[in-house]
Amino acid sequence: MNTETKVLVIGANGQLGSVLIGALQQKFGIDNVVGSDLKRKEGFEGIFEIADATDQPRIQELVTKYKITQIYHLAAILSARGEENPLLTWDINMKTLFTVLEVSRLNNIDRVFFPSSIAVFGTGAPLDNTPNNAYLDPATVYGMSKAAGENWVQYYFFKYGLDVRSLRYPGVIGYQSLPGGGTTDYAVDIYHKAVLGKEFTCFLKEDTTLPMIFMQDTIRATLELMDAPKEQVKIRTSYNLAGISFSPAEIVAEIRKLYPDFKVNYKPDFRQEIAASWPKTIDDNAAARDWGWKPEYNLEGITTTMIQKLKEKYK
Ligand code: AKB
């Protein structure tokens, strides 16, 4: 590794990127982290560059300008939005990945992070305690792009020695930012509605259990994987990552402990079918064994923190 780490975050405005940037700035110093996205987000603090990740020369320009040594590639069209335009989703998700892999290979980037997702699993995988090496037959284009992406990052590792690391994220829940276009988005929106005293309409059935993870755990997992010594990172496709699994009915019951009159109705739409194809619970023993992963937040911890933080935000 170079002595000074210089990080480029592609997709810095997204749900995860906007929080991860802060953690990376804290770790490496604000002058050593470059955020990039299609537009500048109001209030962004630090170095920011407008860039389209399908444009390889532009990403190359940033890598040269800032002497980048690590890239976090977070830009993607997610599961639900992806189904509105499957070919465009494939094109964008794959093109941006190829840009990152090629620029990284050509510039001897030390480490690359590629987020995968529970969306890589389909009906061919067991729904309960889904193992890391389960069969992958994703039901969405987003899932297909992540499954293909996992194979590509492994290919670059074996063929070129590029140190790409990857996690299969469950639905991420955080108070700091909003998700966009995912099937797990309801689990963030529901807290905003509860705190604002509004009724919530859920697009999934009440008994649809999905794997989720709190933002703090997500950021910690990402940094822990990226910090792990190279020889400990044994899985070069992507690691299963678990936080906590719950259904809409369970999250509602937890919220009602604090807001007993919280009104919820269920209107399942096309996202129900996507959710039904995903695991209910995830086996993340490989992550625990190889680099010591252990989640900290359960549903109660997530709920009390979300509600406290959103109350401060909306007061
Ligand atoms: C989505 O719902 O599409 C994402 C994911 C699980 O990858 N949150």
pLDDT, mean of each 10-residue run, the chain (315 residues): 83 98 98 98 96 98 98 98 98 98 98 98 98 98 98 98 98 96 98 98 98 98 98 98 98 98 98 98 98 98 98 96
297 among known catalytic residues: no
Helix (H) / strand (E) element for 141: namely helix 141-160
Atom of ligand 1 nearest to the CA of 118: 6
In this prediction, residue 286 carries a pLDDT of 98
In this prediction, residue 3 carries a pLDDT of 64
In this prediction, residue 2 carries a pLDDT of 44
Reported residue count of the chain is: 315
In this prediction, residue 239 carries a pLDDT of 99
User: Rounded to whole angstroms, how far apart are CA atoms 231 and 228?
Assistant: 8
Contact 124, 137 (CB under 8 A): yes
- Distance (angstroms) between ligand 1 centre and the Cα of 184 equals 6
User: Rounded to whole angstroms, how far apart are CA atoms 280 and 276?
Assistant: 9
Atom of ligand 1 nearest to the CA of 184: 2
Contact 66, 47 (CB under 8 A): yes
Atom of ligand 1 nearest to the CA of 140: 3
Strand 210-214 vs strand 244-246: parallel, antiparallel, or unpaired? antiparallel
Residue nearest to atom 8 of ligand 1 (CA): 171
Q: What is the ipTM of this complex?
A: 0.99
pTM above 0.95, yes or no: yes
Helix (H) / strand (E) element for 33: namely strand 33-37
- Distance (angstroms) between ligand 1 centre and the Cα of 79 equals 6
User: Checking phi first, is residue 255 left (phi over 0); if not, alpha (psi -120 to 50) or beta?
Assistant: alpha
Catalytic residue selected from 142, 156, 191, 297? 142
User: Is 125 strand, coil or helix?
Assistant: coil
Protein residues whose CB sits closer than 6 Å to any atom of ligand 1:
78-79, 117-119, 142, 169-171, 182-184
